Structure 1
Amino acid sequence: MRIKKAVITAAARGERLYPVADTIQKAMLPVIDTDGLHKPVIQIIAEEAFASGIEEICVVCAPGDGERYINAFTSLRDNLIKSFKGVDWARDEANKIDHLIRQISFAEQTEPLGYGHAVYCAREFVNDEPFLLLLGDYLYVSDLLQKRCAAQLIELASQENCSVSAVNPTIEHQISRYGTLTGKHVPNTPGVYQINKIIEKPSLSVAELELQTPGLRIGYYLCFFGMHVFTPMVFDILKKSIDQDGTNILLTPTLQELAETEKYLALEVKGNRYDLSKRHGLMQAQIALGLAGEAHDETLTSMVELLAEANTRSAKLV
């Protein structure tokens, strides 16, 4: 199957990023990308998708945010053209933003009815095709120089003609933050599992009893990476949940039913995800992007200098 559409969920306002999220969509927060340029978070996520073969993107957003995104990106493009006339990097960046504006559309989630409901809001855009799903508050850094995290996922989904969720082996004290799963290793395919059971943010005691995966290091579990490729079947299952209880539609129960309905795999992606909404998440993502990109030496030098300053202050207090 060919995956040419992506959905980015960005409807939540980001209470944990107060007070900035009260005045700007959290997905528009600026971060220095691996190419050394300042970009809004959502542009970095979109470029992850475009670089992996995606042609069209739909952002699920809060009411009115679609127009705000377009206005913000139009202003960024115009400012680049006016302020850096004839400069190659600025012209290239303006062209990328122009491409984003042309290929992006929006679906509003009019009420906060859960993450599953947010995904369902993109059904009309997806139009009965397989699609890539990305979170608007996660940034991704691949361990592979020539293959993005999303590209790794899309490649397997296309080969196997089925839904695939990206996962990372995660230490046990962190699993309460993520959807966690277990499955059977697919023979002769390293890092690929047939999904059996999924539990949203399990306690350690539950995980020890129900989510152990043979072959992982002791104390590690397979947790969602914040990136999925789904067949349209996911919308049929979500609709049943919405019809039964439209108040808080979670995605995880839908994925459990998906695993029981059709072929559904998990892939250990070679890379890392950074949750911008958690404490120090934005800082961790910025450091990771800096170390993975053109500003590696500058980032590393800054980190060493900060650590040396902190060590000096600590010594003075002793």
Structure 2
Amino acid sequence: MSKRVRTAVFPVAGLGTRFLPATKAMPKEMLTVVDRPLIQYAVDEAREAGIEHFVFVTGRNKGVIEDHFDRQFELETTLETRGKNQALEELRKDLPSAGRTSFTRQQEPLGLGHAVWCARDIVGDNPFALLLPDMLFKGEPGVLKQMMDAYEERGGNVIAVEEVPESEISSYGVVARGDGPDSGFPITGMVEKPKREEAPSNLIISGRYILQPELFSLLADQPRGAGGEIQLTDAMQTLMHNQRFTGVKYRGQSFDCGSKIGFLTANVVYALERDDIRPGFVRELRKLDLEDQL
């Protein structure tokens, strides 16, 4: 029986340069989709999947993330005094329990693989989930929960994948698919940003992983790869030599909120799904008479 996955790692040390000047003083992970920060959506997804310990790999100017997952007594007192009990309950519901969060620093921007390696002492000799907060997913159940179901059945390492048009393949890590259902099939190979004609499929790695702790020792000795960074994909390719990798073509929709287009699209989609926002939002959109611009 596979060890239960209780810990999730969230790499949040990136500079967010694609959203400057908004991210000059505010972490990109705190950008809001409607009224919730991106990092909160990722934590919510992890909690739904049964995660109990949340590990944030941070960098400079990221202290506000730690504050977000802490109690703010002055704010709570003000809400209570003003009778805003629903808002107060929402704030308290979003907080992980005491002792369930850990924060560690990535002092140098050496890539995703290095960020994961920075969490090694906290994760220890246990499997862990890895969630990239830039990627926002809508799914029922959540994408990580779908992956947990595959992990409980097959063990090993699990990666969420999705299809993209062939014209976009060269921008992503791509997997080779073996026989099996979308809910859990063997991954027989992977390559980072292949040329279109050399890609083994059109299934890309989507920012959600369940990984075994042996990965840490590989990352410790991993030579720098593309961009002079320590690449997670390189270490996973090595780990594939003696461990199983399973792909899950998840059910749902993704938004790449590391890009302006993905971020804006997510805000529109999530706003239109909110009963308290949709009527007024639709009314304002109709006033704009956007037909000539679309």
TM-score norm. by structure 2 comes to 0.88
Partner of 1:269: 250
Q: Does 1:199 align with 2:191?
A: yes
Q: Does 1:125 align with 2:122?
A: yes
1:107-256 correspondence runs (5 A): 107-142=104-139, 144=140, 147-186=141-180, 189-207=181-199, 211-212=200-201, 221-241=202-222, 248-256=229-237
Partner of 1:26: 28
Task: State the shift of 1:290 in Å.
Answer: 3.0
Query: Which amino acid in the other structure matches residue 162 of structure 2?
Result: N
Task: State the shift of 1:243 in Å.
Answer: 9.6
Give the unaligned 5+ runs of structure 2: none
Contact kept in structure 1, 2:224 and 2:231, CA below 8 Å = no
1:57 counterpart SS class: strand
1:89 counterpart SS class: helix
Tell me how many residue pairs correspond in the alignment. 290
1:98/1:18 CA distance change after superposition, 3 Å: same
2:268 counterpart SS class: helix
Partner of 1:15: 17
Q: Does 1:284 align with 2:259?
A: no
Partner of 1:47: 44
Q: Name the stretch that deviates more: 193-202 or 52-61.
A: 193-202
Contact kept in structure 2, 1:73 and 1:101, CA below 8 Å = no
> In the aligned structure 2, how far is the partner of 1:19 from the partner of 1:227?
28
Greater helix percent: which structure?
1
Contact kept in structure 1, 2:150 and 2:184, CA below 8 Å = no
Task: State the shift of 1:68 in Å.
Answer: 3.2
Identity %: 27
TM-score norm. by structure 1 comes to 0.82
> In the aligned structure 2, how far is the partner of 1:112 from the partner of 1:100?
30
In structure 1, which of residues 294, 297, 305 is the aligned counterpart of residue 286 of structure 2? 305
Partner of 1:217: none
Give the unaligned 5+ runs of structure 1: 33-37, 213-220
Task: State the shift of 1:88 in Å.
Answer: 3.6
- Which deviations, in whole Å up to 9, do the C-alpha atoms of 1:119-153 show, x marking residues without a partner? 111111111111110002111111x2xx1111111
Task: State the shift of 1:86 in Å.
Answer: 3.5
1:27/1:82 CA distance change after superposition, 3 Å: same
- Which deviations, in whole Å up to 9, do the C-alpha atoms of 1:230-254 show, x marking residues without a partner? 1112112212215999x52101111
Alignment RMSD (CA, Å): 2.7
Task: State the shift of 1:182 in Å.
Answer: 0.9
Task: State the shift of 1:255 in Å.
Answer: 1.4
> In the aligned structure 2, how far is the partner of 1:161 from the partner of 1:292?
35
Query: Which amino acid in the other structure matches residue 204 of structure 1?
Result: R
1:313/1:2 CA distance change after superposition, 3 Å: closer
Task: State the shift of 1:61 in Å.
Answer: 1.0
> In the aligned structure 2, how far is the partner of 1:153 from the partner of 1:94?
28
1:20-99 correspondence runs (5 A): 20-32=22-34, 38-63=35-60, 65=62, 67-74=63-70, 78-83=74-79, 85-99=82-96
- Which deviations, in whole Å up to 9, do the C-alpha atoms of 1:273-315 show, x marking residues without a partner? 2111213221112123234554584387258627x7122578x
- Which deviations, in whole Å up to 9, do the C-alpha atoms of 1:32-62 show, x marking residues without a partner? 2xxxxx2222112111111211111001111
Contact kept in structure 1, 2:17 and 2:23, CA below 8 Å = yes
Contact kept in structure 2, 1:181 and 1:223, CA below 8 Å = yes
Q: Name the stretch that deviates more: 98-107 or 236-245.
A: 236-245
